[in-house]
Amino acid sequence: MMKVALVGNPNSGKTTLFNELTGSTAKVGNWAGVTVDKKEGTYKKAKTPMDIIDLPGVYSLSPYTLEEVIARDYIVNEEPDAIINIVDATNLERNLYLTTQVLETDVPVVIALNMMDVVKKNKDSIDTKALEQKLGVPVVEISALRAENIERLMELVGKATTKRQPLDIFKDSKLETSYRQLVDLFTTNGVKQAAFTASKVLENDEKVLSFESVVALKDQIEQITTVTEDNEALMADVRYGFIDSELSSTIKKSRILGEMTTSDKIDKILTNRLLGLPIFAIIMFFIFHCTFSENFLGLGIASPGVYIQGLTEIPIGWISSGIESILDTLGASSWVYGLIVDGIVAGVGGVLSFIPQILLIFFFLSFLEDSGYMARVAFIMDRILRRFGLSGKAFLPLLTGFGCSVPAIMGARTLEGEKERKLTMLLVPYMSCGAKAPIWALFAAAVFPNHADLMTFGIYFIGIFVAILSAILLKQLVFKGEVTPFVMEMPTYHWPRLKNLLLRLWDKLKGYLVRAGTVILASTIVLWFLGNFNLSLQMVEANSNDSILGVFAGAITFIFEPLGFASGSAGWKAVVAILTGLIAKEAVVSTMGVLYTGMESEEEFLGDDDATASLVATIAHTFSPLAAISFMTFNLLSIPCMAAVATLRAEMNDRKMFWFTIGYWIVIAWIVSFLIYNVGTLLGF
Ligand code: GDP
Ligand code: MG
């Protein structure tokens, strides 16, 4: 099978193109021995399928970062059959810096000029014919996002099968003579990729200089030229000189340099020094308002989120009453009935009924991310965090944390500094993840029906606030060190594609359904058993204090009593919910579904026979507003789930820091919940 590698700058659209080409065949792994993602998949639309490899995004093929080393080793040593060099056409000159290096190899290359939709919208144009001629390789205008011209690109890739003459950027430059002599020397001595090696030697590239084949020619090389530290700058000069004199003329900008694009104009407001942060807060509040409010825009109607949540309760209600009547007809014994209706239906159904609202939040967040806005938020955050000795760079993996802690912890790999990376991993769980959202939705409906939007917004805010305070504190005490400079290309604003958004939602939904059918189902069954049998394995009244669960959880409720939600005879149930939440946060609501339903007298909820409504009503009776906030805060800040712990263990590669992080999560969760409950009580809430 033909092997094709994708090479390009970060943010040039590599992942978007990769997904478009490989669809569901993509597999994510690691490059051997390092923690950098390796993605591989198959392009099936060509006559013979092609194997596509997504190389790490790099600005250059120098040997300084892990990503660069991986990308160049792959290109030079593995020798793919062809390379697609994806280039952000809106930043052509800067992207061509990498291109000039890739073209110094003899591997066949096709250049994909990506983001042409934006170029055209700006009424700019690029003379691709001239570019092809100067670079000596095919150039195709594409839009990865809109899937435009992809087949044409792949057709050319399919034809690019013979080795190329390497690009020569040295004509009329200071280094021309040495370059030519080095190329001759390497060619005669059979050094692999002679042109690439020559230019890297001139760049004083440590890695190439230590190649056996190059070391063997040390004396001859020294006769040709002496490379010093300054050579790096000299070579950069040669490269940019070539781009400037040969390639710049292929770009036709419709606007005069310095004139503002629409994107610039939008940014004047959205990233304004004073307005940036308040605007972000307002946007976020609006999202929660649309998702959770019972009084949408003050119109006295349900918000879209509450409305669709109501709609999904209907089929869930049908299913549960269907199950009940089947059990009745079969004459099921009372414990089978209890296990299925009070255990499984109440537990799993409780989680499922909040999914629409959670998907809606994700829809909004994905929209903000895809439109390019979230990159601006990172920039705004950087301005604030820098004052406290932190970089906004950490904000990007943290953003992933709003979805799921596991990829967020892995995402911290992109940070250069070891200390900054560890600190970021520690902060990840403070970004309220998707699995926690059902808890907020449940409490919003039960305890704060009139201020559901404000409450959910507040919870997310508490997380961010604790993260910032922790960062400041730990930076002083534990993770002292340099702050990474924040350089990030701001993508141009654009309307996200619905298909991409829906695909992401579908991924999320699948995740929920799988977990509802596995972890949640299993834990509800176990909980039901532990809650309905006593230590001598006799059935007792459902979830009474003598049940196994009641006895064990009762023994440790004292730890949580100061936090306000664990007192009283039912206090241990909240403790069980907290404990199952340490395993998986979805399990909090399902645990409460199993333990709290049917707890109040039947008459009170007569007519309310569906599981969610009765759970909501019970929670409303059991938790004071302050106890509810304290309970939510503990869930928000403590260990996110066992999957995150396992990921942290793998990524941290520092046993002491790993345990410190786990301990920090638990202790801080306790302290903040304690403060909220007790200060709130003192203030008379
Ligand atoms: P990577 O870092 O190279 O993997 O880049 P991504 O694939 O993550 O893309 C970076 C950003 O550019 C994302 O917000 C994409 O939606 C956007 N993007 C990618 N391709 C195009 C395109 O052809 N046109 C536009 N307008 N945006 C694009
Ligand atoms: Mg990517």
Q: What is the mean pLDDT of residues 288-294?
A: 88
From 11, 15, 16, give the residue whose CB has the most ligand 1 atoms within 8 Å, as the site to mutate.
16
Residue 486 has a pLDDT of 66
pLDDT above 80: residue 388: no
Atom of ligand 1 minimally distant from the CA of 11: 2
Atom of ligand 1 minimally distant from the CA of 19: 7
**133: its two tokens:** 């001629």
**Of 488-497, 543-552, 656-665, minimum mean pLDDT range:** 488-497
Burial environment of residue 332 by CB neighbours within 10 A (0 to 12, 13 to 18, 19 or more): middle
Mean pLDDT for the chain overall? 88
Residue 30 has a pLDDT of 67
Atom of ligand 1 minimally distant from the CA of 10: 2
Measured between alpha carbons, how far apart are the two ends of the chain, in Å? 68
Distance between Cα 496 and ligand 1 center (Å): 10
Vertex 281 angle, CA 357 and 397, to 5°: 75
Distance between Cα 91 and ligand 1 center (Å): 13
Q: Where are the domains of the chain?
A: 2-159, 176-252, 288-682
Give bridge partners of residue 252 from the DSSP assignment: 125
pLDDT above 80: residue 605: no
Long-range interactions of 246-250: CB distance < 8 A, separation 24+: 246/134, 247/92, 247/93, 247/96, 247/131, 247/134, 247/135, 248/93, 249/127, 249/130, 250/126, 250/127, 250/128, 250/130, 250/131, 250/134
Distance between Cα 27 and ligand 1 center (Å): 20
For residue 32, name the pLDDT band (cuts at 50, 70, 90).
low
CA distances from 36 to 397, 420, 516 (A): 14, 17, 31
- Tell me the residues surrounding ligand 2 (ion) with CB < 5 Å: 15
- In percent, the amount of the chain with pLDDT more than 90 equals 48
Residue 606 has a pLDDT of 40
Half-sphere exposure of 149 (CA within 13 A, CB side): 15
pLDDT above 90: residue 248: no
Residue 485 has a pLDDT of 63
Residue 607 has a pLDDT of 43
Question: Could you read off the pLDDT of 454-481 as tens digits, one per residue?
Answer: 999 999 999 999 998 998 899 888 887 7
Distance between Cα 221 and ligand 1 center (Å): 43
Residue 29 has a pLDDT of 66
Q: What's the pTM value of the predicted model, to 2 decimals? A: 0.65
Question: Could you read off the pLDDT of 321-373 as tens digits, one per residue?
Answer: 899 899 999 988 888 888 898 888 888 887 888 888 888 888 898 899 888 89
Question: Could you read off the pLDDT of 101-115 as tens digits, one per residue?
Answer: 999 999 999 999 999
> Closest-lying ligand to the alpha carbon of 117?
1
Atom of ligand 1 minimally distant from the CA of 16: 7
Whether the CB-CB separation of 457 and 285 falls below 8 Å is answered with yes
> Closest-lying ligand to the alpha carbon of 85?
1
Q: What is the mean pLDDT of residues 526-538?
A: 90
Residue owning the nearest CA to atom 12 of ligand 1: 13
- 2-159 — its CATH code? 3.40.50.300
> What residues flank ligand 1, with Cβ below 6 Å?
8, 10-16, 57, 114-115, 117-118, 143-145, 370, 372, 491, 494
Distance between Cα 144 and ligand 1 center (Å): 7
Residue owning the nearest CA to atom 14 of ligand 1: 370
Residue 482 has a pLDDT of 65
For residue 243, name the pLDDT band (cuts at 50, 70, 90).
very high
Query: Cα 346 to chain center, whole Å?
Result: 31
